[in-house]
């Protein structure tokens, strides 16, 4: 993933930009960050996630295999403490977000056209063709959306 020589040459510069706290605490990145709070570090003329660099420095330049990502156990995007970082895949990362209540679903999703009352209404009324059509028109959503809500494929977190 990373060039080992470049990584080792830049290690001191990297760690100089980290507020190293006590063992077990988050170590926040002190320089440039993305809009979501992840640190950014330049290596070999390319920008990389600071947490990925920290993981590679702790575990070796080739530690991050294709298809894997570096996840935060602490859920702090600016943290680069290697003790807080673990390899995983996209599914595990999403599962972490859902389990910890950080995944924007339902009304917390800014793109949602529906609220909880509308979803409950769709679940009640969309059991027939006429009901499904009425819900599509009333809430200005597609047939696929109405069917997914009625079948509880979407908005699963919402009880009846």
Give me the pLDDT at residue 34, please: 93
Residues of the chain with CATH 3.90.75: 4-99
> Would you place residue 101 in the very low, low, confident or very high pLDDT band (cuts 50, 70, 90)?
low
Could you tell me the pTM of the whole model?
0.65
Q: Distance between CA atoms of 37 and 120, rounded to whole angstroms?
A: 36
* Residue range 41-66: mean pLDDT, rounded: 94
> Would you place residue 31 in the very low, low, confident or very high pLDDT band (cuts 50, 70, 90)?
very high
Give me the pLDDT at residue 116, please: 85
- Taking CA atoms, 144 is separated from 48, 131, 132, in Å, by 39, 14, 10
* Residue range 114-129: mean pLDDT, rounded: 90
Task: Kindly report the number of other CB atoms within 10 A of residue 45's CB atom.
Answer: 6
CATH number of 4-99: 3.90.75
Asked whether 46 and 101 are in contact (CB, 8 A), the reply is no
Whose structure tokens read 């009625």? 150
Residues 6+ apart with CB under 8 A from 84: 26, 27, 72, 73, 74, 76
């Amino acid at each position: 993933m990373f060039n080992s020589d470049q990584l080792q040459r830049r290690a001191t510069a990297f760690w100089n930009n980290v507020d190293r706290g006590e063992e077990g605490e988050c170590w926040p990145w002190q320089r440039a960050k993305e809009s979501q709070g992840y640190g950014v570090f330049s290596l070999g003329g390319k920008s990389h996630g600071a947490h990925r660099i920290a993981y590679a420095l702790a575990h070796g330049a080739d530690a991050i295999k294709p298809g894997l990502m570096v996840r935060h156990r602490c859920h702090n995007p600016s943290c680069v403490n290697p003790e807080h970082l673990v390899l995983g895949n996209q599914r595990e990362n999403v599962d972490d977000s859902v389990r910890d209540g950080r995944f924007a679903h339902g009304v917390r999703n800014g793109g949602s056209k529906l609220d909880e009352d509308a979803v409950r209404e769709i679940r009640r009324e969309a059991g027939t063709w006429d009901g499904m059509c009425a819900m599509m028109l009333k809430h200005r959503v597609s047939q696929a959306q109405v069917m997914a809500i009625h079948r509880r494929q979407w908005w699963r977190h919402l009880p009846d």
